[in-house]
Structure formats: structure tokens, C-alpha cells
Amino acid sequence: MEKRSVISGRLLPYLLLLPQLAITLVFFYWPASQALWQSFMLEDAFGLSSEFVGLENYAALFQQPEYFRAVGTTFIFSTAVTVLSLSVALLLAAMADRQIRGAPVYKTLLIWPYAVAPAIAGVLWLFMFQPSLGLVARGLRSLGLDWNPLLNGNHAMMLVVLSATWKQISYNFLFFLAGLQAIPKSLIEAAAIDGARPTRRFWTIVFPLLSPTTFFLLVVNIVYVFFDTFGIIDAVTGGGPAKATETLVYKVYSDGRLGGDLGGSAAQSVILMIIVIALTAVQFRFVERKVQY
């Protein structure tokens, strides 16, 4: 799509683009290409000289058991958060979509956690589940459960999954509700006349028609879990205990910060960039399909 009528000007458009392009080049392209370049270089221990080593940093990375552990952690974490937050949000949206009294109030009361910072969400849940003084943790302990996310890796994982899910429900709810409201009521009424009960109507008509929204949210949620949950992990567990909650993004951060392994850290960044680009590409292909649909 192009404008038929345009403004004439030779220098002006470049001046208008200058701020955005300058910031983009300095803070996006330059660092990204640095990461790419460093991932092929090996620096000595003092950072004085470096040599080109090709794909050695990547090879070294793929020989690290910790790297695959972080891949596994990321996979479990993102699957758990995505499945949990999507199902809870869909349930709530399906309920709010019925013509019940107070639906707008419920909507307001369900969407505000979007505005809570991930790190703050983590802190709230940490407080509830803090083994010695948390209200919920005390309840769990009185039930005879030896709850301790500070020592037990599985408990720590559950805690970050819960915090991340809690924060993401509002976003998914909003998009599911919009998706549900876009489904023509006549289709549902027709099925009702044919004698289909509400549950059957939901799974045979509503859910398939909702699939573009679901698919879109699937991708957005994976991106969310990959990148935006950094604050939750850092505030709640710091990647621990014993790296049980160290995701790929957290590993880039902690490897680059603690060890001076710039090449290895850069290689990890490059792999993450490839993952984001792949996810974005999937998302855009889907968006194109939706437009035709």
C-alpha cells in the first residue's frame, strides 16, 4: 500500500529519519554485529589479544552439559507457563464472554496485572512462599510438605512458573476475550438449535474458530517466557538453587557477568537472536494468513 499523494522534499525525509536510524544503528546493529563477531573470536585471559577461531565457541558451547541443562530448563519453564496461563486465561475469557452482569468489572479486575513488573510479580510470590514466614508456605508445611524453594530445585521452578503465569494471564485473557467476541453469535445459536450442549459447542465451534488467536498467543507467550521473565528469575531464585532455574537468557547474563568468557557468551546471544528471528518469522507468516482469512 502506498500513498498516491506525496510531499516533495529532498533533504527533509532524511532529517526526519535521522534520530531513529542513528539510535537504531548505534544501539541495535552495532552491538548485534559485535556479538556476532565476538562469537567467532577467542580472547585471552587478560583481554589483550584475540584470535579468529571460527565456530569453536559454538562447538565448545555444545559440549557443555550446563548449556543443555539450560535448554531443558527453558523448555520446561516455557511449556509450563504457556500451557498454564493459556488454559486459565481461556477459561476466564469464556466465562466473561457470556452475557453476565458485571462482565466489564471482571475484565478490569483481571487485566491490571499486565502493568506489574515481572520482578515485582516475582517478589510478591516469593513473599507468599518464603519457607519461614510466607503465608502459603506455612500452610504447605502444616500439611506436612517440606516446602523450600531456596534449597529444592523443583520447588524453585514451581515458584517461578507460578509468578510468570500469574503475570501473563491478564494478557492472554484480553486477547482471548477479543477473539471470542469476534465469533459470530449466529453460528453458536445454529448449533444450539441442532441440540449441541454448551461444552460440545465450545469444542466443536468456538475453539476451532479461536485457533488464530490461540496460535498468535502461543508465539507471544514463548517470546515472553524466553525474555521478559528474566526479572522474575533474578528476583526470586537468581537462577538457583544449583542452577535449577537458569534459563538460556539468564545464562547469557550470568556467564558474561561472572566468567570473562566473552566469546562463549556472544555465541549464546547469537543463538538466542536466531531463535527470536525464527519465532518472529512464524508470527508474521501467521499474521499474513489472518489478513487473508
Partner 1 sequence: MVEKRRFGNLVPHLILLVGVSIVAFPVYLAFVASTHDAATIANGQMQPVPGPHFLENYYRTIFVGTSSSTREPVGTMMLNSFVMAMGIALGKILISIISAYAVVYFRFPFRMTAFWIIFVTLMLPVEVRIYPTYKIVADLGLIDTYAGLTMPLVASATGTLLFRQFFMTIPDELLEASKIDGAGAFRFFKDTVLPLSITTIAALFVIQFIYGWNQYLWPLLITTKDNMQTIVIGIKKMIVTQDALTEWQLAMATAVLAMLPPVVVVVLMQRLFVKGLVETEK
Q: Which positions from 232 through 261 interact with partner 1, judged by CB under 8 A?
A: 234-235, 238, 249, 252-253, 256
Q: Applying CB under 8 A, what is the total number of residues that bind partner 1?
A: 97
Site map 17..56 versus partner 1, x via CB under 8 A: x-xxx-xxxxxxxxxx-xx--x------------------
Residue type, 154: N
- Distance CA(267)–CA(259), nearest Å, equals 14
Q: Minimum Å distance from CB 221 to partner 1?
A: 12
Bridge partners, residue 50, by sequence: 43
Angle at 223 between CA 219 and CA 229, to 5 degrees: 140
Contact between 4 and partner 1 per CB under 8 A = yes
Q: Please state, in angstroms and rounded to a whole number, the distance separating the CA atoms of residues 241 and 69.
A: 14
Classify 8 as helix, strand or coil. coil
The answer to the question of residue 115 lying near partner 1 (CB under 8 A) is: yes
> Residue ranges of the alpha helices (H) in 182-261?
185-193, 198-201, 207-209, 211-223, 230-236, 248-258
The grid cell for 240 is 538457583
Write down the H helix ranges in 47-102. 56-62, 65-97
**Does 116 contact partner 1 by CB under 8 A?**
yes
Cβ at position 12, least distance to partner 1 in Å: 6
Minimum CB distance to partner 1 smaller for 146 or for 189: 189
Q: How far is the CB of 132 from partner 1 (least distance, A)?
A: 6
Alpha helices in 113-184 (DSSP H): 118-129, 135-142, 153-181
Residues 156-175 as x/- pattern, contact with partner 1 by CB under 8 A: ----------x--xxx--xx
Tell whether residue 91 is a contact of partner 1 (CB under 8 A): yes
Q: With contacts defined by CB under 8 A, name the span among 55-63, 69-77, 203-211, 231-239 that binds partner 1.
A: 231-239
Q: Which of 42, 70, 82, 118 touches partner 1 by CB under 8 A?
A: 118
Kindly tell me which residue out of 41, 60, 140, 188 binds partner 1, with binding defined by CB under 8 A.
188
- Residue 50 phi, psi dihedral angles, 5° rounding: -145, 150
